[in-house]
Amino acid sequence: MKHLRMATILIFGILGLSLPAMAQKNEVYVYNDDKTKVDLVVLRGGKTSEVTGTYTFNGKSCEIRGSYFPATGRVKARCQNDEGYLDVTGFRITNKDGFQLTIGNYTYALLNISLAYSLGLTGTWQIEQRGSGGSYEGKLYLKDETWPTFTGSVVWNNHQQGRVKGETDRGNVTFTIYYSDSLEGYYKGRLSNDYDDMVDGTARANKGGPTVSWTAKRISREAGKKDSTGGRRIEIPQKMEENEGGYTATWTLLPSGNQFEAKWSNGAVAILKIEKFDSEGVRIVRGDTSQSVSQNFTAVYTGTISGNSVSGKVEFTQNGRKWEGTWSATW
């Protein structure tokens, strides 16, 4: 076992949470970095409990087998492979609800997998992606589902939004982003021990292209807020530059937060009521004011958001006449 780095492993965790395919009394602890991975399972029994697991360093592994003695809080085991074995000893840290295990002379801080599950990925994440094809920034809105899966959405600042589905596995994270044009992005990375950062990320697309790098940082543990229609709410911009049928306008958000004042290049003036502005779409109702060059004029704008822009269909009504057109806006 000359290839193994001798290690002292400090394992912390919350005990007693249910895990798939495991008895409720089993306690599972993990550590994972670029060179080292430790999986430790305490199979709780009576006066003596079985200890099993795996220790991996630089691609070399050994199997941990031994015992835990609840009365004294001591652990005694061996980590063995075809090349030999390492002695594993340790004790429970009562005030930390964890263990300190000695496998030689090195120290790692491990997270109980139950604690990792309790932290979860629910919340808002700032994601940054870098590659030869350009740079993208945006937000991931994630929600934990049945362990270890999660779902959500991504809204890029300069690209279309997408739907997210993924899972975690012992400190690793993988997910797929599905876009409306059949484009799919395959992402994988590693979670920090506090589950607040995704690091060492790589991604590729189903339609080819280079592999890119990415990172993400949790900026809120609250699930992204939804409006009454079920979509993930997006912050409404203070000002938008709009175009429809060759006419341009500036839409300015009013203090109420749910209306724009709009002024067009042809002299039209309107108040726009924001009925929907989220990841699933936009719906804005227009009513021209008495100062507008167009009287008895109403319109309904619908569309979808992609990064810092929105585009879609507009339905006009004036004096009983109805017609349709297209519109777009940026901010």
**Burial status of residue 127 (CB atoms within 10 A of its CB: 0-12, 13-18, 19 or more):** buried
Q: Where are the domains of the chain?
A: 7-116, 120-220, 239-330
Q: Which residue has the higher pLDDT, 9 or 140?
A: 140
Q: Which amino acid is at 9?
A: I
- pLDDT bucket at 173, cuts 50 / 70 / 90: very high
Q: What is the mean pLDDT of residues 164-189?
A: 88
Q: Which residue has the higher pLDDT, 279 or 61?
A: 61
pLDDT tens, 87-110?
A: 988 887 665 556 777 887 776 666
Q: Would you identify the CATH topology of the domain 7-116? A: Lipocalin (2.40.128)
The predicted structure's pLDDT at residue 2? 44
| pLDDT of 31 over the 80 cut | no
C-beta of residue 212 within 8 angstroms of C-beta of residue 133: yes
The predicted structure's pLDDT at residue 73? 84
Long-range CB contact pairs, 139-146, < 8 A, 24+: 140/164, 140/216, 141/223, 141/224, 141/232, 141/279, 143/223, 143/224, 144/120
Rounded Cα–Cα distance for residues 13 and 229 (Å) = 39
pLDDT tens, 36-87?
A: 787 878 887 778 889 898 888 888 888 999 998 988 888 899 999 998 998 9
DSSP state letter for 13: -
The predicted structure's pLDDT at residue 256? 67
| pLDDT of 253 over the 60 cut | yes
- pLDDT bucket at 316, cuts 50 / 70 / 90: very high
Phi then psi for 116, rounded to 5 degrees? -60, -40
- pTM, 2 dp: 0.42
The predicted structure's pLDDT at residue 280? 80
State percent of the chain over pLDDT 70. Answer: 79
pLDDT tens, 256-269?
A: 677 899 999 999 99
Rounded Cα–Cα distance for residues 235 and 160 (Å) = 16
Q: Which residue has the higher pLDDT, 232 or 213?
A: 213
| pLDDT of 8 over the 50 cut | no
Architecture of domain 239-330 in this structure: Beta Barrel (2.40)
> Which CATH code fits 120-220?
2.40.128.120
Closest listed residue to residue 60, CA positions, set 108, 8, 7: 7
Q: Which residue has the higher pLDDT, 187 or 155?
A: 187
Closest listed residue to residue 188, CA positions, set 204, 170, 206, 174: 174
